[in-house]
Amino acid sequence: MRDVFICHASEDKEAIVRPLVDAFMEAEITCWYDEAEIQWGDSIVAKIDEGLRISRYVLVVLSATFVQKPWPQKELNAALNQEASTGEVRVLPLLVGTKQEQERILSKFPLLRDKLYLSWSSGVGSIVKAMRDRLGRAGRAGCDEDLSPTQKAVPRMPMPRL
């Protein structure tokens, strides 16, 4: 089992996904992401299906490039479908970009407007802390001492408009 599957556009890998994966690994949060799991000759579809199946949550990196890519949108749709059919929280949205870009992203995915989301601008440490909280590991000894003062900041979680 993995704690989180990271759904993203390949263009977001360098600036967002790799730093996030590194921070999760330091915090002992297990994650599934394509680069580490899919090897030469593997069936991409089978590996992604497996990753979605064995991961407790799906962290979706929602960016301007994400909305242009059909493949990560299929991953998001699969996770939303599972969430709707089971009633269990699976999708954890992470919005990237300016306020205007975030608004365009949310307008493309109306079902996500129902969710509390994190913003990439709040920093990797805030995302790690929120993930620990979600996993029920917030009180683990020694975790927060490893974070810098800026990483310990309270995450900015905008409420959806009603």
Q: Helix 70-86 crosses helix 44-54 at what angle (to 10 degrees)?
A: 30
Instruction: List the structure tokens of 57.
Output: 């949550």
Q: How far apart are CA 98 and CA 100, in angstroms?
A: 5
Instruction: List the structure tokens of 137.
Output: 């590991």
Query: 4 with 61: CB under 8 angstroms?
Result: no
74 Cβ partners below 8 Å, 6+ apart? none
Q: How far apart are CA 143 and CA 100, in angstroms?
A: 34
Active site amino acids? 75
User: What amino acid is encoded at 57 in this protein?
Assistant: Y
Helix or strand (DSSP H, E) at 142 = none
Q: Helix 18-26 crosses helix 124-135 at what angle (to 10 degrees)?
A: 50
